[in-house]
Structure 1
């Protein structure tokens, strides 16, 4: 089968097929599933290998977190400036990542989108998201990108198992936490905390650190607007700023 023929089956171009074949680009799960469908005797081999291909594409320091995120049953996240990668649209993610001038931008976007499968799998992760209002007003890309992103955020907020809360801007600084962080919870085993940082984030598993993170998150939730009011605020800002 030629690259052009495979590209037609996978709904992508010749160039992308060539780059995946030579290891220059990361394949999506849909691409792996297409290979299993069109290649004789594949027997699901490509889909089985796909998690390994994705895992080694992440930076070494981030791989452990991605593995834990995939196993988690609940994810609680806070961000004071941006939408977390787990809920970003493809266009928003590309605009955020492009700012760092990476040489592998499209791979980074693909990896970020693939992480979001935990929100749509048969038993999706339960998401709790607390954001500063500034996140909604901080324009990333253009108005169309922000309108799409806030629409996506509103959709996630309407999922019964999810919670999205916004800390309103009262005209003065009052958020007790400055660093983006998240808490992963599991059916078995203790919670862990991930803290974003430069040049790399890190995972904390010590009980004292996890307890401190839970205390901080409880305070953030108490300061934020209730979920229903938060959804109204998201919709209002989207219409006022990005229509």
Structure 2
């Protein structure tokens, strides 16, 4: 896979290829390799499912190229199959790509290599911090045919925050995001508890823009800045029907200035955490 200076990755495979053919689809190839090794070992799908803490049905769908595997599943295959030698963990990133729309894949690859993420969201919690229940509720609204794959992929993105060299996260949220009852009280309770835990992690920063502030810079659309150990920052702008990446220096500078103004507008981190606690207690207890 090649990469230009703007950070845009050019996929070797054709994005329009049918993922059912193991010859052209990493997802189908991953499934075919699982089936080959499982049958070579004389293991049933139910037995593999038990090792991977999932059901027979999910194993069957992964082998057929119909479901995206989690990294835990790939690592289970590497532990279970005698001659895997880490092959499934190496294949997993390519298989995971097929859970994302083609236009979003370059962003995900950049996100995985980022050392710092700065995000602003005025309407919803960003996917990088969503719980499984919150993510499923949000993604279901688009009535996708591959809902479970989308949920899996969104949760797998969050590994950037827990890997050996974790990405640092700075999120600015409108207070209304915390009050919007996505999925109901139980879902929101779990989501705000997760956000509160992130706010306590010294690697990350959560800031809240209080509802008393009616207008502020960048209030029209969510956007983010990705920083890397080498190279310039890249901007990601969420949009409908597609988000997009910006790498021109002027665009990046404009986004950085807007984010600085948002940081100055929002409550400091030590004042934002009590807001989360208050909403959690008053609205979703």
Normalising by structure 2, we get a TM-score of 0.84
Provide the residue aligned with 1:27 in structure 2: 69
Bigger Rg over Cα: 2
Q: Secondary structure at the match of 1:189?
A: coil
Contact 2:68 2:98 in 1 (8 A): no
Provide the rounded CA distance (Å) in 2 between the counterparts of 1:124 and 1:176: 29
2:53 corresponding residue in structure 1: 11
Q: Distance in 1 between matches of 2:55 and 2:119?
A: 36
Q: 1:142 aligns with which of 168, 184, 187?
A: 184
Which whole-Å deviations, capped at 9, do the CAs of 1:36-65 have from their partners, x for residues lacking one?
111121111111101111123321111111
Q: CA deviation at 1:99?
A: 1.0
Counterpart for residue 91 of structure 1 = 133
Are 2:224 and 1:179 equivalent residues in the alignment?
no
Tell me the CA shift for residue 143 of structure 1.
0.3
Unaligned runs of 5+ in 2: 1-42
* 3-state SS, counterpart of residue 164 of structure 1: strand
Q: For the Cα contact (< 8 Å) 2:175–2:208, is it kept in 1?
A: yes
| Distance of 1:137 and 1:167 partners within structure 2 | 12
Equivalent of 2:255, from 206, 213, 223? 213
Deviation at 1:19, TM superposition (A): 0.5
**Aligned-partner Cα distance in 1 for 2:257–2:153:** 31
Shift of 1:123: 1.1
Structure 1: runs of 5 or more not aligned: none
Residue 62 of structure 1: aligned partner:
104
Asked if 1:127 corresponds to 2:169, the answer is yes
Q: Secondary structure at the match of 1:183?
A: strand
Q: How many residues align?
A: 242
User: How far apart are residue 176 of structure 1 and its match?
Assistant: 2.2
Following the alignment from structure 1 to structure 2, what is the Cα–Cα distance between the partners of residues 102 and 140? 18
Cα deviation, residue 241, structure 1: 0.1
Question: The residue matched to 1:82 in structure 2 has which SS?
Answer: coil
C-alpha RMSD over aligned residues: 0.8
Is this contact kept in 1: 2:130–2:191, CA < 8 A? Answer: yes
CA distance in 1, matches of 2:85, 2:214: 57
Alignment partner, residue 105 of structure 1: 147
Q: Secondary structure at the match of 1:49?
A: helix
| Deviation >2 Å, runs of 4+ | none
- SS of structure 2 residue aligned to 1:11: coil
Contact 2:222 2:238 in 1 (8 A): yes
How far apart in 2 are the matches of 1:217 and 1:193? Answer: 11
Aligned to 2:117: 75
CA apart distance, 1:189: 0.1
What is the deviation of 1:155? 0.5
